[in-house]
Amino acid sequence: MRHSASRAVLFFLCSLSLFISTFASASLEQQRNKFIQAEKLYKANKISQYKKLKTELKDYPLLPYLDYQEINGRLTSSNSVSVSKFIEQYPDLPISDRLNRRWLNHLIKTKKWAAYRKHYAKHPVAHIHYECQNQTALLNGTTKQKKAALYQAKTLWMVGNSQPKACDPLFKAWMATGRPTSKEAIGRFWLSIEQGNIKLAQYLTKKIKNKKLKAQAELFWSIYNNPEKVESTLLKKLPKVHQSKTAQLSYKRWYRQKAITATNSWIKHRDSLVPKEEQLNVSEYMGIRLNRNYHSQAIKLSQRLDPDYQSAELTETRIRNALAKQDWLAVKQGVKHLPAEEAKDPKWQYWAIIADRHLDPQNSHKEEIKALAEDRSFYGFVAAELNNTPFRMNAKSDAISDLQLEELSQLPAAARAGELFKLGRLTEANREWRTALGQMNEEEIQLAGYLARSWGWHLQAIINAAKTERWDHIDLRFPHPHAKLFEMHAEKNNLDLSFPVAIARQESAFLFNAQSRVGARGLMQLMPRTAKQTAKKHKVPYKKISELYNPETNITLGSAYLGDMLKRFDNNPAYAAAAYNAGPHRVKKWLKQRGHLPLDVWIETIPFKETRKYVQNVLAFRVIYDRLEGRQPSLLSEKQVQLLALNQSKRTAL
């Protein structure tokens, strides 16, 4: 009886929690609609209606955003008291910082120097732009304040990088006093050289009037602009403290002009020009580029550039170049010299096995391949294909209750982030989410990914899993929104059902309005030109770029384009994924250069790091999504498995 009563109480509490959660969601949706309406009323200047509606939103998480809209809308007629009041009332809100910056910029623009100084002293902004504005405000103050500003100007000017335009009025006033001196100018010149800011150094050369110091700068340019002179005695005429950096910059420039000549000269002269502890910078620069370009002399020169394998990054490029040449001994040596932690990467474990198998065909390495097949990764899945064993998911999940998520969602910043996400205001939502995470304890941060997932904010759920290193939490890392749309268009374009969704997972992490720095848009990150061409080819209705933010349009066009790439490249998903990411023209070029290589070698030797990782991820994600959907997964077709390095001859095939 007691057990029955306990179960009844538990059932009641769960039901009550679900009812409260459902009621709260409905209430929030009503408030959300009222919030949108209130914003519109304010913009339409219907203030009395706006104020009445605002009183109904006193418990709504985004109420401060209405206050912000009011003060921001009348910023030109506001005063520091009202701005300070908002900042102090909402110190943790990202919009408080935005308002503070806008107000400071307004005060400078309207030349309200005293007001700026007073407000900045109370609400400083940790950015050089606003510090320079503060010094400009001081410059327009008392004689004592002006003197202090001119003194500070030198400190702000004497850096190795260009300062923002906000510093120009201060620097102009400082220069009107006869500054910089030649000594100051040459000092900043060398600071810019140390940071590799060549354009700034060119500008500063004009500021050096002293003949002796001018000659010093001109000697640098003589060597840098004619880098073959770096071998000569000219370098020794520069101050000793600047000789090493001059040699490094000059050799890098020389390499860009004549790679092999510069590399041989560097190997010959580096010990006499640059301290031992600084040499790796240039050796890496040259070696990595030689190997990435698969230069015929790269392996030999790399051995001379870095004989002790000090650079892990250079060692990796040496291994890839050795793979491209199928020099299995060099591959084995390279993996052997990787740092211990990097050598544990499934990628390098795989290539160590393949190299050993080619060097010693009598040793099957079946146990090593079997062990690697336990890993949930591209190379773990390749090993599983070779070993003819099931793909391992090794999945974990946390038991999270609705009540836990409800409690977490009540944190003010989390509540604001959730509402902004649901309103589609992702810039503000991301800022509030970062604020929320900064206020959470470790346990709450672990829950945060599940909260984001419950909202459909899959990108933040995926990021949360990565930042908390929960790599085995497949439920967080691999959501499947728009499943029916993806499957319908996969079938329509003769694609494996998980191929388009794997592309979307890699491209945007299912952020429907994602936009890349180069202009790709939406779930499957289509470039507008590609979308237009694909729409025309497949007779898909498409009029404007904004339609790419519509999931159905994006999935329709993205799947069609992916299908085109698959047909173009012999139904090979690796080539198709590479073409989707880097463009078919590049894949055509890479196939012409290295298409004769085994498929796994070709993938690992893709010149672009981003595309290489992209292809490996997409192929692995296809397997994971097939498993999650209960389908029989395969990484590669039987034909493609035969193209792997281990199956290229009867001697090495398992």
Alpha-helix residue ranges (DSSP H) falling in 110-164: 113-122, 128-139, 143-157
pLDDT at 613 over 70: yes
**Tokens 């030689």 label which residue?**
290
Helix, strand, coil percentages for the chain (3-state, nearest 5): 70, 0, 30
- CB-CB neighbours of 240 under 10 Å: 7
Cα separation, 476 vs 453, whole angstroms? 7
Nearest to 382 by CA among 640, 650, 648: 640
Q: And the tokens for 323?
A: 């793979």
Pull the structure tokens for residue 116: 């700026």
**What contacts 592, CB < 8 A, 6 or more positions away?**
none
Beta bridge partners of 526: 521
Q: Has residue 450 got a pLDDT over 70?
A: yes
Residues 534, 514 contacting (CB under 8 angstroms): no
Q: How many CB atoms lie within 10 A of CB 73?
A: 13
Residue 343 corresponds to which amino acid?
A
Average pLDDT, stretch 580-596? 96
What does the pLDDT look like over 325-363, one tens digit per residue? 999 999 999 999 999 999 999 999 999 999 999 999 988
pLDDT mean across residues, the chain:
94
* DSSP reduced 3-state for 515: strand
Q: Which two tokens stand for residue 562?
A: 């992916």
Rounded to an integer, the average pLDDT of 101-111 is 96
pLDDT tens digits, residue range 112-141? 999 999 999 999 999 999 999 999 999 999
For the chain, what are the domain ranges?
26-175, 182-327, 402-471, 483-634
Per-residue pLDDT, 381: 98
- Cα–Cα dist 197/194, whole Å: 8
Residue 500 contacts residue 580 (beta carbons within 8 Å): no
For residue 373, the SS3 value is coil
Confidence (pLDDT) at 648: 82
pLDDT in tens, 370-410: 999 999 999 999 999 999 999 999 999 899 999 999 999 99
Structure tokens at 476: 């967080």
Percentage of residues in the chain having pLDDT higher than 70: 95
How far is 381 from 616, CA to CA, in rounded Å? 10
C-alpha to C-alpha distance for 188 and 183, rounded to whole angstroms: 9
Task: Kindly state which CATH superfamily the domain 26-175 is placed in.
Answer: Bacterial muramidases (1.25.20.10)
- pLDDT over 80 (residue 153): yes
Give the contacts of 578 (CB within 8 A, at least 6 positions apart).
586, 587, 590, 606, 611, 614, 615
- Per-residue model confidence (pLDDT) at position 363: 87
The pLDDT value given to residue 144:
97
Q: Copy the structure tokens of residue 434.
A: 């970062």
User: Can you say whether the dihedral through the CA atoms of 580, 583, 588, 589 is positive or negative?
Assistant: negative
- Residue 29 to residue 33: CA distance in whole angstroms: 6
**At residue 213, what is the residue type?**
L
Q: What is the pLDDT of residue 257?
A: 96
CATH of 483-634, one of 3.30.1490.20, 3.20.20.120, 1.10.530.10, 1.10.10.60: 1.10.530.10
155 exposed, middle or buried (CB, 10 Å; 0-12, 13-18, 19+)? Answer: exposed
**311, pLDDT greater than 60:** yes
pLDDT value at residue 13: 45
CB neighbour list of residue 248: distance below 8 Å, 6 or more residues apart:
274, 278, 281, 282
Q: Which of 573, 577, 580, 588 is nearest to 641 (CA)?
A: 573
Contacts of 594 (CB under 8 A, 6+ apart): 294, 324, 601, 602, 605
Classified as helix, coil or strand, 391 is coil
Phi, psi values for residue 521, rounded to 5°: -135, 150
Note whether 354 and 646 are within 8 A (CB): yes
Among the four given CATH numbers 2.60.40, 1.25.10, 1.10.3470, 1.10.1240, the one describing domain 402-471:
1.10.1240
Mean pLDDT across the stretch 166-191? Answer: 97
Does this model's pTM top 0.95? My answer is no
How many whole angstroms from its chain centre is CA 352?
A: 30
Based on its alpha-carbon atoms, the radius of gyration of the chain, rounded to whole angstroms, reads 31
Residue 515: strand pairing partners: 521
- Tokens standing for 649? 């001859």
640 pLDDT exceeds 60?
yes
Cβ within 8 Å of residue 238, ≥6 positions away:
216, 219, 220, 223, 246
CA distance 192 to 199: 9
Handedness of CA 86, 90, 91, 92 (dihedral sign): negative
Residue 364: per-residue pLDDT: 84
pLDDT in tens, 216-250: 999 999 999 999 999 888 999 999 999 999 999 99
Cα Dmax for the chain:
101
- Which among 325, 329, 315, 323 is positioned nearest to 283, based on CA atoms? 315
- Lowest-confidence region among 18-22, 95-99, 132-136: 18-22
- Is residue 9 predicted with pLDDT exceeding 90? no
